Chains A and B, each alone.
Chain A
């Protein structure tokens, strides 16, 4: 089932691209990466947008949670009012969940195609669709510059690039927590910050262990992710600027309790001991409050 739905289509896609792209396996991996990224683009954009948006209104979410901890119904109403849907937290995981079958499937596809053992080739045969003439494609070229694509990069260059490119991507996609906000104020942001380092380290480690062909995929996927992140940032900045230009107010009405409000002030740099966040609370207004200090 797994092979039929995930691994074999990837094997055949890679072989097809390899055939059409001048028998260059790096180009085949690059093309497949682009195709996969295009397929998952809507989901990725939604996830990233949701993540940035949640980070922006995190202080309000915290305040609501604290204030209405004993009144879930009211809490949901307030969440709805500020445009936050907790279910998005789970739906936002879908792109991440999709990445795993893709990653594992691609790993299997690359190692099967570049298996470099008779048994690996023997096992490849029944996986290839009849429309593909495997005889003309075998053996798949596994050398590229100093790399043997079926082995890890002996010069450590790819693992370093994987780490660097993934770190940049994570940095772009992880909004910095507002000044003065602690991890206790915003645990989600704290977690995201820590993942900004752990994920690149993890994938850098993968690259030390797995075929260079998979590292090429990681790098290309990261580069595309960086471009996507930059594009998204630009779009969201423009949208925010347009909102501000129209004087739109942030739809938040919370009569925060003292503790919650304090946390909120800390997050936004406000100073009074009790803050009334009204429906008139907007990003410019908070900025103005901060400016007063």
Chain B
């Protein structure tokens, strides 16, 4: 059993997608496990509400699991995954514009990430280079990005966090490459201005 699990761990994303498309649930599980942190981080930067991020992450993972067989080219997985993430975020924006703003009683918006019990348990997997950046700076950057106008933050997150090309971002956001270029450029200068005193 354990040797089988290591086997899946050694497969690359392309191989996992191909196996999962053939109905291999173990491959699908490994694929989701590999992607969940990535999806979680993306929603953390897109959504202004901390408490929605977990729900959105699981919703996106469920969508990936259910619809993976419809993906025609396994090598376009990353772009396809981000399309799902972006569309979920658009839906969320639409929902938010209709319902009044609510505040969670369980955690107050700004401090929950930094001070919840889960975060006070030391992470043994933390690598040295991640220690260079303080928790506060990460929170500040997250807040700065999630406060950008919708299209700007989608463009900058897809570019910097997901590493997608301008062409892929243009396709996902249904806009031209020129628009993507100027959105990313403007998002960067806005963020640089906002973070001037910290970097």
A and B form one complex: no
Give the B-binding residues of A (Cβ under 8 A). none
Give the A-binding residues of B (Cβ under 8 A). none
